[in-house]
Amino acid sequence: GKGGEGEIGIAVKVPLVRMKIGEVGEATSVVVLPVCKAEEGVKGVEEAPGECKTEGEFGVVVAEKAWRRWVVFPGWDPVMGLGPGGVVVAFADARVLPWKVNRWYKEEAILVVADRSKKDVVVDDGFYLVSSKENGGDLKVERGSVLKKLGVKDGLGTVVLVVRPPREDTEEMEKTLS
């Protein structure tokens, strides 16, 4: 380089790469979803952008409205199948879940992925994102059967996935709750 001495004078090479098929940026392999924090409550869930289209060959995500907080997921079936109703709620721990079988629930943050296009409480065995009246509107996850008994007809959305954070051990990688 002829830019002079020192750090600023170091010759710069601009790398040109070709994105690989199946690599992260490809539209079919990852899903980008808007995130709201549990503390933002019903307002956060309802205000998060709906439709997020994918544009062009690079899989650029174009949301129907501007938003600050996003997460990138691998192309897991439940999130790939989400339409414009997809939203992610970040909880500090898993005590908001209606099942409590292991001690990790108090120790790990979780992300709850919900479909806002399916608000009606119709499935007994389904799980719904709701705001709990007894806790000043705090968000939680509840079973359809429980909501029906309480006479609750609709929630904020149907839960399609719960995500735990990455860990070194590879056991219990995937688990289906019912």
Residues numbered 75 to 134 that lie near a second copy (CB under 8 A) are 76-78, 90, 109, 111, 122-127
Stretch that binds a second copy, among 7-15, 38-46, 132-140, 149-157 (CB under 8 A): 7-15
Q: How many CB atoms lie within 10 A of CB 113?
A: 25
CB of 122 to a second copy, least distance (A): 5
Q: Which is nearer to a second copy, 77 or 136 (by Cβ)?
A: 77
Q: Which is nearer to a second copy, 103 or 136 (by Cβ)?
A: 103
Q: Which is nearer to a second copy, 104 or 136 (by Cβ)?
A: 104
- Cα first-last separation, the chain: 63
Q: If phi over 0 gives left and psi between -120 and 50 gives alpha, with beta otherwise, what is residue 130? A: beta
In angstroms, the CA 111 to CA 52 distance is: 19
Task: List the interface residues with a second copy, window 158-177 (CB under 8 A).
Answer: 158-168, 170, 172-177
Which two structure tokens, joined as six digits, stand for 51?
């439709």
Binding-site member from 42, 138, 145, 152 for a second copy (CB under 8 A): 145
Q: How many CB atoms lie within 10 A of CB 93?
A: 14
Residue 69 sits at φ, ψ, to 5 deg, of -115, 125
Using CB under 8 A, count the residues that bind a second copy: 79
Binding-site member from 39, 74, 95, 153 for a second copy (CB under 8 A): 74
- Alpha carbon 129 to its chain centroid, in Å, reads 13
| Residue 80 DSSP SS3 | helix
Binding-site member from 39, 43, 46, 58 for a second copy (CB under 8 A): 58
Q: How many CB atoms lie within 10 A of CB 108?
A: 15
Stretch that binds a second copy, among 38-46, 64-72, 129-137, 149-157 (CB under 8 A): 64-72
CB of 134 to a second copy, least distance (A): 23
